[in-house]
């Protein structure tokens, strides 16, 4: 399984999960079968808030799932339409989140938990406080 994480810097499995999907400078995709890590620069950094193109951001890569701290509703909807599950990060590092995911302990994001904007329209799962 290929799991994608937004990160600020690539430190492999010890990378810290970035606080928001669309604003992350880069992503890493971890292949859980090989523990291989692939780095992808965010190709959609200059989008206006609320109009993130997840597939563009991921450079066309199609992981099986995304693990994030927070995400906008539009991005969540587009990722779900592409068949990707989006899970809420529980833990600081990629390794901690992978362990929790393997145990079935990461909740899947719902539209009610998404970030509604930086002007105070934050859902209960938004990391922009």
Over the stretch 62-83, which tens digit does the pLDDT of each residue have? Answer: 999 999 998 888 889 889 999 9
As for how many domains the chain has, the answer is 1
Q: Is residue 23 part of a domain?
A: yes
Share of the chain above pLDDT 70, in %: 82
pLDDT in tens, 74-124: 889 889 999 999 999 998 899 999 999 999 999 999 988 887 654 444 444
**82 within domain boundaries:** yes
- Does residue 76 belong to any structural domain of this protein? yes
Q: Is 122 a member of any domain?
A: no
Mean residue pLDDT of the chain comes to: 84
Residue 22 vs residues 30, 70, 76, 113: alpha-carbon distances, Å: 19, 9, 10, 15
Return the ∠ at Cα 106 (arms to 48 and 112), rounded to 5°: 45
Residue numbers of the domain that contains 55: 2-113
């Amino acid at each position: 399984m290929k799991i994608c994480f937004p990160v600020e810097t690539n430190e492999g499995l010890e990378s810290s999960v970035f606080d928001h999907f669309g604003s992350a400078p880069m992503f890493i995709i971890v292949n859980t079968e090989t523990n291989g890590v692939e780095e992808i620069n965010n190709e959609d950094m200059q989008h206006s808030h609320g109009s993130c193109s997840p597939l563009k951001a991921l450079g066309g890569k199609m992981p099986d799932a995304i693990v994030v701290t927070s995400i906008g509703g539009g991005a969540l909807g587009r990722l779900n339409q592409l068949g990707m599950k989006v899970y809420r990060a529980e833990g600081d590092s990629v390794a901690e989140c992978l362990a929790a995911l393997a145990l079935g302990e990461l909740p899947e994001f719902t539209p009610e938990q998404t970030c509604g904007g930086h002007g105070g329209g934050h859902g209960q799962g938004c990391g922009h406080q």
